[in-house]
Amino acid sequence: MSDPGKNNIAEIRMQVMWNRLISVVEEQALTLLRTAFSTSVRESGDLSAGVFDPRGQMLAQAVTGTPGHVNTMAEAVLHFMNEIPRDTMFEGDTYVTNDPWQGTGHLHDITMVSPSFLNGELVAFFACTAHVVDVGGRGFGADGKSVYEEGIQIPIMKFAEKGKVNLDLVRILRANVREPNQVVGDFYSLAACNEVGHRRLVDMMKEIGLTSLDGLGDFIFSRTRDAMLDRIKALPKGSWWNELVTDGYDEPVKLAATVSVRDDYVEVDFSGTDPMSRWGINCPIIYSKAYACYALKCMVAPDIPNNAASLAFFTVSSPVNILNAVRPAPVALRHIFGHMVPDLVLGAISQALPGKILAEGAGALWNIHISARPVAGGSGRRAEVLMFNSGGMGARPEFDGLSATAFPSGVHTMPIEATEHTGPIVIWRKELRPNSGGDGEFRGGLGQIIEIAATDGHEFDFSAMFDRVNHPARGRNGGKPGVAGVVRLDDGTPMRPKGWQHVPAGRRLILELPGGGGYGDPAKRGAVARANDRSKGYISENDR
């Protein structure tokens, strides 16, 4: 007969090791944050990091990072294993790709995978992903007609073998990107990120006396499976459909999803979504799947760790369409519709869980890529500048929406000082946008107003990557929609929400980001809440 006390001690020991493993991958991610060259990584946390068992199953992810990177990386590691035979994997190796269909959905994301050996035996893989400032081609934008125009493509290959960096690859990179020092620096940061994870894991295993992670992996996956199964069994069973209309590039795009809850899994089907676009707004299924799984995880089990076992309960399918784009479709701005997928999926499941799901929000980040240069005949500095900006979140069933918050991507806003440091750009204004949150018993989150200009003697082109300009976030349960976004110059000239455009010297670009939808009947919003909104400037004195 087993001793219950010993069993309890064994479980506690496993839990401690699980926590140690999470701390390992968090230090892995922080290494990337501290050493990255690009502001999108260093300041905004547009990255992911994780540890995988020798079969390519994700054991743990870092808290730092985005769902789009983490959940695509969980699948991408298997592609690396298929491309690089086990007998050609060595200690000190690091593998790399930016293949949109085998990585994270577009060329600007660099994914690196490194095998981790202990006493000559493969015990794990470490993987990380980060968005770099430039990959050549047309630049970060929607104007490409195929992936071949969007930048350099790196098939799954070795960045380093036995600790020796592939300098031919580095030379090719330098010859193809506009900011070679930043991009190559980020490649080395990614490699260092995995190396730190490997060292910490080996130290932990030696300290505890482990020769493999098999036992710990079984513990992690079994506990996760049991917890996830309990949550799914408690959900209503059936199928629910939702559609969401977005701005698109030159015409609206309809996204559609059917969410089906079965006895032991949840399925999402994107049938009914509009066909692929000729513009670079298409989304590979690996990225659409990542955000669909994230939305389901938020709804089903936000407190259960994200790993291979939890992700296995979600299946995503789609015919070929804009959410399942196939090669060689242009996919540079795949994040726009990928970030809309959670609102799409949650809108379907809200029919099964009334009173539980937040209203729609701004969804897609309002990324802007700026290519600044001296005016003709002038002298000055050229630079590529990338900014991440967020509109408002939808109101929640019991709380107002969060303002200027990146849901679902989770990236941080870039400090003005860091942005201005990267190029001849001045941010003249960055403030919350009054009256932009949808009215309701609970108010939608506010967008923000950002005013950008080049420094004296400079002009700039910019790549607009915006949505919710013509189709604002919808409220829920009687809540009003959020206010749509606006893109214009300071003289009132309207600008397009997508595509490369020019801002002359002396002019300022003004972005008015969209607000989130409201939740519940506006008549039920209390006088105290409305007074608080007015006192803080969230709504005008004479509004509502």
pLDDT per position as a tens digit, 279-314: 999 999 999 999 999 999 999 999 999 999 999 999
Residues 387-403 pLDDT 10s: 999 999 999 999 999 99
Spatial separation of the C-alpha atoms in residues 283 and 465, rounded to whole Å: 14
Mean pLDDT of 103-130: 96
pLDDT bracket for residue 6 (50, 70, 90): low
pLDDT bracket for residue 4 (50, 70, 90): low
Q: Are 473 and 502 in contact (CB under 8 A)?
A: no
Residue of 401, 492, 509 lying closest to 451 (CA atoms): 509
- The pair phi, psi for residue 84, each rounded to 5°, is -115, 110
Spatial separation of the C-alpha atoms in residues 91 and 163, rounded to whole Å: 8
CA angle 301, 306, 312 (to 5 degrees): 85
Residues 518-533 pLDDT 10s: 999 999 999 999 999 9
Residues 155-176 pLDDT 10s: 999 999 999 999 999 999 999 9
pLDDT bracket for residue 113 (50, 70, 90): very high
pLDDT of residue 25: 92
Mean pLDDT of 478-501: 97
pLDDT bracket for residue 101 (50, 70, 90): very high
Q: What is the pTM of this model?
A: 0.94
Q: Is the pLDDT of residue 544 over 80?
A: no
Spatial separation of the C-alpha atoms in residues 288 and 335, rounded to whole Å: 9
Q: Is the pLDDT of residue 1 over 60?
A: no
Q: Is the pLDDT of residue 7 over 70?
A: no
pLDDT of residue 518: 98
Spatial separation of the C-alpha atoms in residues 299 and 344, rounded to whole Å: 13
Retrieve residue 313's tokens.
Answer: 């309960």
Mean pLDDT of 230-252: 96
Mean pLDDT of the chain: 94
DSSP letter, residue 522? G
Q: Residue ranges of the alpha helices (H) in 307-405? A: 308-311, 334-349
Mean pLDDT of 412-429: 90
413 vs 478, residue with greater confidence: 478
Residues 57-90 pLDDT 10s: 999 998 878 898 899 999 999 999 999 999 999 9
pLDDT of residue 315: 97
Mean pLDDT of 139-154: 95
Cβ density class 240-259: b for 16+ within 10 Å, e for less:
bebebebbbbeeebebbbbb
